[in-house]
Structure formats: structure tokens, C-alpha cells
Amino acid sequence: MLEDNQPADVSLRALTLVCTLTPSPEQSSSELLARQLLDALSERGVSGPLVRVVDHDVRPGVQVDMGNGDEWPMIRQQLMAADILVLATPTWLGQPSSVAQRVLERLDAELSETDDVGRLLTYGKVAACVVVGNEDGAHHVSSILFQGLNDVGFTLPAQAVTYWNDQAKGTYRNYKDLDETPEGVTKTTQTLAANTVHLARLLKAAHYPAPPQSGE
């Protein structure tokens, strides 16, 4: 049931950054939903690493490399090799985790990194988000991730997030403790994978033009 003119079935790489506050090997709700998205991406020929950011010493700052044993440069190298960034976060006090905000701060450095025609190195990469919470917050957390990622150069496909929140002032369950995956989440995850891959293939085949001031 696909259209003509679908993008060629090239293979794509994704980097997944899980921003739970909980170090490995403890279970994480945001990692669980991220892995479900990765499975759906995998069915569409996408592969690549998953990094639990809190396991690494990502230093505070807004430079590409903050020195002092900063482990962001290693993560950044994986990002540069990826066509797709999956950013997964829990919700704390209604916000993305401090680890997710740390990732956004480190991506701020990309605003100074351009290719030989003046495009940000992030241009052409597509972002997909994953948000879970034992209380409410997914819409707002998405809005922050969307704005931050888009500001530093990522493109967002239609409906660029899969998410789950429990009732607010209800039961406070965690996603990892649900008996089964809600049907709405499964459907959203599948659609997100399909949209992300479609857009990433299009942009890989036809990169954004050079910014106006350098080429037109």
C-alpha cells in the first residue's frame, strides 16, 4: 500500500541515548520503551548502539569536549556516524531528566560545527523521542526535546515521539511494571519507526541545501 517515489531502501544507523537517572544494570522504563522502538526500527533495516548516558562521565558544559576525562566526545563520535538519534527520557517533576538536559547542553556545541558548505553537522539527521513517566508530562517533555533538538539542527518527522504516562493523582505505576504494553503505545511506536525511517532516507538521498549566505 505504499506510494510511488518511496525512498530507496538504504541501510541507516541510529544512536539511542537513554537518559534514565538509574545506572546499569538496574531496569529502566525509558530504556524499555526505547528498545521497543529499536525493534521497530530494526524491522526497517536500522541498526546501531544504545548508550545509557548515566553510566558515562558526561561533564557539564557547552563545548564539544570539556576535557578532564569527559566521555561525551566518544558518544558524539557515535552520533556523527548516525542518521537517526533516538533520545529517551523519564519525566521528573514534569520535566526531562537532568541527564537529558545535559545531553541537550552538550549538543549546543553543534551550533558551531559546520561542513564545507556551511551546514551544521547535525543537518540531515532525524530525531525520534521516547518519554515515560509515572505521572504526567509527556507532551511537555516532548516539546522541550523537540525544540532543543530542532534548534541544534535535527529534523522531526510527523508525530516524532512515543510515550506513556500513568494517571496523574492515580496509581503512579512505572512503564517497566505494566503487565502488557498498551495498544496505543505499540501503534505509536510502529508509526514513529516508519515515519523516522522514511524521512531519514529522504534526507540521506537529498541533503539540505547549503545555507543561503554561503551558496545562493
User: Quick one: 16 or 165, whose CB is closer to its own copies?
Assistant: 165
Q: How far is the CB of 80 from its own copies (least distance, A)?
A: 16
Site map 92..131 versus its own copies, x via CB under 8 A: xxxxxxxx-xx-xx-xx--------x--x-xxx-------
CB 70 within 8 A of CB 58: yes
Q: Where are the beta strands (DSSP E) in 110-149?
A: 126-133
Q: How far is the CB of 32 from its own copies (least distance, A)?
A: 14
User: Quick one: 6 or 11, whose CB is closer to its own copies?
Assistant: 6
Angle at 27 between CA 186 and CA 55, to 5 degrees: 115
Distances (CA, A) of 42 to 13, 14, 38, 168, 197: 10, 10, 6, 33, 10
Q: How far is the CB of 85 from its own copies (least distance, A)?
A: 13
Q: What is the CA radius of gyration of the chain?
A: 17
Residues within window 62-81 making contact with its own copies, judged by CB under 8 A: 62
User: Quick one: 14 or 127, whose CB is closer to its own copies?
Assistant: 127
Q: How far is the CB of 161 from its own copies (least distance, A)?
A: 8
Q: How far is the CB of 74 from its own copies (least distance, A)?
A: 19
Where would I find the H helices in 43-91? 72-80
Task: Rule CB under 8 A: say whether 150 interacts with its own copies.
Answer: yes
SS3 (DSSP) at 84: strand
Name the helix (H) or strand (E) containing 143: helix 138-151
Alpha-carbon gap, residue 42 to 102, rounded angstroms: 27
Name the helix (H) or strand (E) containing 211: none
Alpha-carbon gap, residue 155 to 207, rounded angstroms: 12
User: Quick one: 50 or 146, whose CB is closer to its own copies?
Assistant: 146
Please work out the total of residues on this chain that contact its own copies, with binding judged by CB under 8 A. 90
Site map 24..53 versus its own copies, x via CB under 8 A: ------------------------------
Contacts of 88 (CB under 8 A, 6+ apart): 16, 17, 18, 19, 20, 30, 31, 33, 34, 37, 129, 130, 131
Q: How far is the CB of 77 from its own copies (least distance, A)?
A: 21
Residue of 60, 67, 69, 180 interacting with its own copies (CB under 8 A): 60
Binding part of the chain for its own copies, among 9-17, 71-79, 80-88, 163-171 by CB under 8 A, reads: 163-171
